Amino acid sequence: IFADRAKLMKILARFEIGDEAAPEVVADDIWAEAVSAGRGPRPGEASAVEVKSKANPTGLVFYDAFHEDVKELVTSHYQKSGCKKMKTWVGCFMVLLVCAEVYVAYMFLKGSTIAVFLLPTIGWLLCSNLAHDGSHFAVSERPWINMLASYAGMPLFFNATCWHIQHVVQHHIYTNDENDVDLYHFLPVCRTSRFTKWASQYHFQWLAIFFVLPTSVGHLSYIVPLDLLTKQVDLITGKRRYSECQNLEDFVARNSLQMAAELSSGLIFFFFNVYFQGYGEGLRRMFMVYSIASFWFIVITQGAHLQQECMVGKEDKYQSWAKRQSATSVNFRPDSYFWQLFTGALNMQSLHHVVPCVGSSQLIDIYPEYKELCTKHGVPLKEVKSLLEFFKGFLGWIRELAHNEDEAQQRQLQHERY
């Protein structure tokens, strides 16, 4: 909520959001008060906006009672802990990991075998804890630190600028809705939602997915920025990359140099490896590194939303944006400090999606009370016991989508008839 519409317009312009996407502005001091206190408005203060908040691109209600209670919970936690972003010990560990990553990258270029496995694993820890948090402005209260942190996912996982429009904007606003670009990354080989109509090539996607997975981070690092910069139209789908985004051309035009520089950094690392190791050996080592990186990325991220029970339609009861974020996410082992650190708290996706600007290292402390709030407001909190069960849910959904819905319905009718 913004008391000064001029300030609101500047922030909307910063994130390429049109004026029509903004809720009505309440002319009082809520925004200034919220910023100074490091929190959102108090319960009841946002009631004027709640009535009108469906006039946004999602068609969902913001600032409902559940959302406000979660924000109050976060504010209370901040006041008790005295830390609003990344915990100090996690920050120190990240600095050590950055140093380790530089050394391991050097050993990788020198031909070390163990570096083939260490480089993507350390890279994943930096990606999930530092780059991901930085992209959500959750590492520090200083913007330049968040900006630097967001580059920690390069060159093995994702480029910061493309990640912003893909993940921070589209995925977090339209989670599992038709404008969520994460639902279309595996096209035209595999579909991950019923927004994509069934076609014959999807019949064997339960098998094809294992050939696609090793290419995942290479796709994010190279194919996505190239498609955006060249305005490539897919010959099979007939659509441009991230065509679901609003003001995409304007975003790319204003960030083209930055996107090109990020793309070049990955290519430079690739060519350095080929230069030191030779063409054949260099390609083999790079393929292994990107395959391991893709394994960590896919196993830990895709089970969170791409499961049958997370496909919540617009016709369902979750008209609250915050409730929908919880309903479209699966969590595993939220009590484990090991999994919190290894996944960057992506094992607590429902909480992360409701308050994405909260540092991942804080979520494990907030989660027990968040769970109580979900019970209080009747919000389903989906949990599984292990990473294996978490990933099996994703594979099960891929297998389910391999079938033609019309044929499945006919078989069901025949079964019921006899």
Would the pLDDT of 93 be above 80? yes
Using an 8 Å Cβ cutoff, are 151 and 160 in contact?
yes
Mark 280-305 as b/e (b = at least 16 C-beta within 10 Å).
eebeebbebbbbbbbbbbbbbbbbbb
- Give the residue extent of every domain in the chain: 57-418
Query: If we measure between CA atoms, which residue out of 152, 159, 172 comes closest to residue 256?
Result: 159
> Tokens in use for 18?
């049109």
Residue type, 409: Q
Rounded mean pLDDT of 153-171? 93
- DSSP 3-state assignment of 330? strand
Bridge partners for 61 per DSSP: 320
Q: How far apart are CA 375 and CA 96, in angstroms?
A: 39
- pLDDT at residue number 319: 82
Using an 8 Å Cβ cutoff, are 370 and 77 in contact?
no
Is the CA virtual torsion 153, 154, 158, 159 positive or negative?
Answer: positive
Q: How far apart are CA 267 and CA 94, in angstroms?
A: 25
Query: If we measure between CA atoms, which residue out of 7, 77, 93 comes closest to residue 39?
Result: 77
Span 20-65, pLDDT tens digits: 444 433 333 333 334 334 444 444 444 444 444 556 778 888 888 9
Span 170-227, pLDDT tens digits: 999 999 999 999 999 888 899 999 999 998 889 999 999 999 999 999 999 999 999 9
Q: Which of 36-50, 297-311, 352-366 has the lowest mean pLDDT?
A: 36-50
Q: Which of 5-9, 39-43, 313-317 has the lowest mean pLDDT?
A: 39-43
Using an 8 Å Cβ cutoff, are 176 and 328 in contact?
yes
414 band by pLDDT with thresholds 50, 70 and 90: low
E strand or H helix that includes residue 383:
strand 382-384
Q: How far apart are CA 93 and CA 115, in angstroms?
A: 20
How many Cβ atoms from other residues are within 10 Å of residue 109's Cβ? 17
> Tokens in use for 121?
């694993």
- pLDDT at residue number 53: 53
Q: Which of 141-145, 254-258, 297-301, 411-415 has the lowest mean pLDDT?
A: 411-415
**Phi and psi, residue 61, nearest 5°:** -90, 125
- pLDDT at residue number 60: 85
Alpha-carbon Rg for the chain, nearest whole angstrom, is 22
- pLDDT at residue number 234: 84
**Phi and psi, residue 340, nearest 5°:** -60, -45
> Tokens in use for 236?
């099979």
Would the pLDDT of 76 be above 50? yes
Q: Which of 154-163, 257-266, 311-320 has the lowest mean pLDDT?
A: 311-320
Q: How far apart are CA 311 and CA 401, in angstroms?
A: 12
Bridge partners for 331 per DSSP: 383
Using an 8 Å Cβ cutoff, are 312 and 328 in contact?
yes
- pLDDT at residue number 285: 95
